[in-house]
Amino acid sequence: MHLFNASSLFNEDGIKELISIAGDPDKLRNRIIEAKKMLLKAYNFQAYHVPEDFTAASYIIATNHLTDSDAPLIMSYYYEIMHPNKDTYPELFVFAKEDCFNGVSIPKELKPILEFEKVFAVDRKSTGGSFAAIKTAEKWFTESDKSKHFLIFPQGTIYDINKDRIEDIERGAFWLAKLLGIPVLPAFIEQAVEGAWNRLVFGKPISIPKDCRDFDPYKKIWLERVIGAQNELVAITGLPAREAVLDDEHQIRKRFKPI
**Residue ranges of the chain whose pLDDT lies below 70:** 1-15, 83-88, 99-107, 109, 124-129, 255-259
By three-state DSSP, how is residue 183 classified? coil
Give residue 227's pLDDT.
97
Determine what percent of the chain is predicted with pLDDT higher than 70.
Answer: 82
pLDDT, tens digit (0-9, with 9 covering 90-100), for 100-109: 666 555 667 6
Give residue 258's pLDDT.
47
Ordered structural domains, the chain, with CATH: 6-250 (3.40.1130)
Strands 59-63 vs 184-189: parallel, antiparallel or unpaired: parallel
pTM metric for this prediction:
0.86
Give residue 37's pLDDT.
84
By three-state DSSP, how is residue 32 classified? helix
pLDDT, tens digit (0-9, with 9 covering 90-100), for 45-70: 999 999 999 988 999 999 999 988 89
Give residue 162's pLDDT.
93
Residue 59 φ then ψ, to 5°: -140, 155
C-beta pairs of 160-165 under 8 Å, 24+ apart in sequence: 160/66, 160/244, 160/246, 161/64, 161/188, 161/223, 161/226, 161/227, 161/230, 162/227, 162/230, 162/244, 163/253, 164/223, 164/253
Give residue 216's pLDDT.
96
